[in-house]
């Protein structure tokens, strides 16, 4: 039986308790400790989970609790120092999104994890959601045709952050989904943003990403919108997909809708765009909490040694886009060239490349020439990668 992984979560504010609940529900790990500097907050989560130890001092959590893995769920400005301390203390580390405040910080964390042979994962939660997996599956079959353009809207009233603007808070979800769907990094972007409530902290932003082959994506984020909207429209040459993450049912709709130009025509009178309006269908999506799948994936990667789907490189490429967006806002929406900022390394700290899910410790051919059955953790990692690639 695989060794139980002892996990600690630092940051028990809004999001941390969701991580606590999910890690606690997994059978092959033990949620051993929760840490929050705020005593009242810690007392509250301990009242919910009295069997889990509590700590207010992060250094004590790292050095005295016998943890194998640490999950960082504090404000973004604390991600880098806390993740660095965790990795240097020899702990596998899951950092909430966005990975850090700068690409230099991300690179340093990737480097430490690689040198120490530790798993470094970033909480790009939506990539573990059944809806996004289904969309990727539909696109990968070629049903939607060539993807031409994606439009994402993630809006609501609050929760206002002080250390980051709304793009750094909400766009990571959309960027992660878009990069995952297109399997491509943008060549340039521009972004406009305005600060209406907190001076200097943009609460409305619009990022335009440009990819090769005339493909583009628009991401609109706002903390000052009356409705909670989490919507993405993916326009392909054959089908159009609308993903509404707020919908309880029918989260994905696939429209058999397209526009075509006539291949050739001799007179203007002959020229007509061909509009096609066909059926719409709603694919079945399994009910599964994305965060639970993410937490399980982290534990599986620790057991198997495989690179997480959302490893340090994925965190770094996302932070580079956010940095470029901030740079563009400062320059009144001027375009930023990203073609030289591509991420090529492995980012996991264990020598695995972008989509390399090959477990390094298990499942190898035995000395007798028979292939050993992979442990459950390695099979789950391989299945998840397969379903998402
Ligand atoms: N994956 C997702 O879908 C998702 C959703 C929401 C938030 N998040 C991310 O989760 C992280 C936390 O966001 P939040 O909204 O919960 O923030 P929050 O401010 O509500 O909570 C942060 C907690 O960290 C604690 N803290 C601060 N300094 C500390 C220290 N030195 N030691 C221990 N604890 C300390 C605070 O007391 C607070 O309770 C952010 O990175 C955010 O981007 C991710």
How many whole angstroms from 162 Cα to the centroid of ligand 1? Answer: 12
- Given a cut of 60, whether residue 366 has pLDDT beyond it is no
Please indicate, yes or no, whether residues 58 and 20 belong to a single structural domain of this protein.
yes
- Across 188-192, 218-222, 322-326, 347-351, least confident range: 347-351
**Quick one: pLDDT at residue 22?**
98
Number of domains in the chain: 2
Mean pLDDT score, 115-136: 98
CATH of the domain at 321: 3.40.50.720
Percent of the chain with pLDDT over 90: 77
Say whether the peptide bond before residue 159 is cis (omega within 30 degrees of 0). Answer: yes
13 and 140 in a single domain? The answer is no
Domain final position from 281, 305, 321? 281
What is the spatial distance between Cα 92 and Cα 263, in angstroms, rounded to a whole number? 55
143 and 222 together in one domain: yes
Protein residue with its CA nearest to atom 31 in ligand 1: 37
**Considering Cα of 14, then 15, then 18, then 24, what sign does the dihedral take?**
negative
Contact criterion met (CB below 8 Å) for 154 and 173 = yes
> What integer is the mean pLDDT of 128-154?
97
d(CA 206, CA 368): 58
Pick from 188-192, 225-229, 351-355: least confident: 351-355
Within this chain, do residues 235 and 138 fall inside the same structural domain, yes or no? yes
**How many Å lie between the centroid of ligand 1 and the Cα of residue 36?**
9
What's the confidence (pLDDT) of residue 365? 30
Cβ(268) – ligand 1 distance below 6 Å: no
- Same-domain status, 32 and 92: yes
Q: What residue's CA is closest to ligand 1, atom 28?
A: 37
| Residues 71-88: tens digit of each pLDDT | 999 999 999 999 999 999
Name the DSSP class of 3.
P
Q: How far apart are CA 75 and CA 77, in angstroms?
A: 6
Q: Which residues pair with 72 in a beta bridge?
A: 10, 95
Residues 6+ apart with CB under 8 A from 280: 253, 254, 255, 256
Furthest CA-CA distance within the chain: 80
How far is it, in rounded angstroms, from Cα 47 to Cα 264? 71
Determine whether the shortest distance from the Cβ of 182 to ligand 1 is under 6 A: no
**Looking at residue 198, which CATH number applies to its domain?**
3.30.360.10
Q: Quick one: pLDDT at residue 88?
A: 98
**Is the per-residue pLDDT at 62 higher than 80?**
yes
Q: Ligand 1 centre and the CA of 189: distance in Å? A: 28
Q: Is the CB of 172 under 6 A from ligand 1?
A: no
Boundary residue ending a domain (281, 312, 339): 281
Q: Are residues 135 and 119 in the same domain?
A: no
pLDDT tens digits along 179-204:
999 999 999 999 999 999 999 999 99
Output the six-digit token pair for 122.
């970033």
On whether both 251 and 379 belong to a single domain, the answer is: no
Q: Cα(109) to centroid of ligand 1, in Å?
A: 19
Please work out whether the CB of residue 389 comes within 6 Å of at least one atom of ligand 1: no
Q: Is 36 touching ligand 1 by the criterion CB < 6 Å?
A: yes
Output the six-digit token pair for 373.
């059955």
Chain-wide mean pLDDT for the chain? 89
Rounded mean pLDDT of 353-375?
40
pLDDT at 2 over 80: no
Nearest ligand 1 atom to the CA of 164 is 43
Residue 370: the pLDDT is 35
Residue 306 pLDDT: 96
User: What pLDDT was estimated at residue 162?
Assistant: 84
Alpha carbon distance 170, 243 (integer Å): 16
| Per-residue pLDDT tens over the stretch 164-177 | 999 999 999 999 99
Question: Rounded mean pLDDT of 346-371?
Answer: 38
Mean pLDDT value across residues 122-140: 97
233-243 tens-digit pLDDT: 999 999 999 99
Domain span including residue 38: 5-126+290-388
**Residues 268 and 153 reside in one and the same domain:** yes
CB 35 within 8 A of CB 12: yes
Task: Write out pLDDT tens, residues 86-119.
Answer: 999 999 999 999 999 999 999 999 999 999 999 9
Tell me the C-alpha distance between 347 and 343, whole Å: 9
Inform me whether the pLDDT recorded for 348 exceeds 60: no
> How many A from CA of 72 to the centre of ligand 1?
8
More confident residue, 16 or 359: 16
pLDDT exceeds cutoff 80 at 353: no
pLDDT of residue 177: 98
Lowest mean pLDDT among 124-133, 143-152, 194-203, 348-357: 348-357
CB of 245 shorter than 6 A to ligand 1: no
Same domain, 37 and 80: yes
Q: What is the pLDDT of residue 276?
A: 85
Is the domain of 323 the same as that of 259? no
Q: Are residue 224 and residue 277 in the same domain, yes or no?
A: yes
Same domain assignment for residues 243 and 311: no
């Amino acid at each position: 039986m695989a060794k139980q992984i002892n996990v600690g979560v630092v940051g028990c504010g809004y999001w941390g308790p969701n991580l606590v609940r999910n890690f606690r529900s997994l059978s092959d790990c033990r949620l051993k400790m929760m840490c929050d500097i705020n005593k009242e907050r810690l007392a509250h989560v301990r009242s919910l989970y009295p069997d889990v130890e509590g700590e207010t001092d992060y250094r004590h959590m790292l050095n005295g609790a016998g943890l194998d893995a640490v999950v960082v769920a504090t404000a973004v400005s604390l991600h880098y120092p806390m993740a660095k301390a965790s990795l240097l203390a020899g702990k596998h580390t899951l950092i909430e999104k966005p990975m850090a405040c700068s690409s230099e910080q991300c690179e340093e964390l990737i480097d430490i994890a690689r040198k120490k042979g530790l798993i470094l994962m970033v909480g790009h939660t939506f990539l573990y959601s059944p809806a996004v997996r289904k969309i990727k599956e539909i696109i990968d079959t070629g049903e939607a045709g060539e993807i031409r353009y994606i439009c994402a809207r993630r809006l609501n009233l609050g929760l206002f952050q002080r250390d980051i603007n709304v793009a750094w808070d909400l766009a990571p979800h959309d960027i992660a989904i878009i990069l995952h769907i297109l399997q491509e990094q943008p060549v340039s972007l521009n972004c406009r943003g305005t600060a209406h409530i907190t001076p200097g902290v943009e609460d409305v932003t619009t990022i335009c990403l440009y990819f090769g082959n005339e493909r583009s994506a628009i991401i609109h984020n706002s903390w000052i919108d009356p409705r909670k909207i989490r919507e993405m429209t993916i326009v392909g040459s054959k089908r159009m997909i609308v993903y509404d993450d707020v919908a309880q049912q029918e989260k994905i709709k696939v429209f058999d809708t397209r526009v075509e130009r006539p291949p050739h025509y001799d007179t203007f009178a002959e020229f007509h765009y061909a509009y096609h309006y066909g059926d719409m269908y709603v694919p079945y999506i399994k009910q599964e909490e994305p965060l639970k799948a993410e937490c399980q994936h982290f534990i599986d990667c620790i057991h198997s040694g495989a690179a997480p789907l959302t490893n340090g490189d994925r965190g770094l490429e996302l932070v580079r886009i956010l940095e470029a967006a901030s740079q563009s806002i400062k320059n009144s929406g001027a375009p930023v060239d990203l073609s030289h900022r591509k991420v090529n390394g492995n980012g996991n700290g264990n020598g695995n490349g972008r989509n390399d899910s090959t477990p390094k410790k298990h499942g190898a051919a035995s000395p007798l020439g028979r292939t050993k059955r992979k442990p459950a953790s390695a099979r789950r990692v391989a299945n998840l990668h397969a379903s998402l690639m």
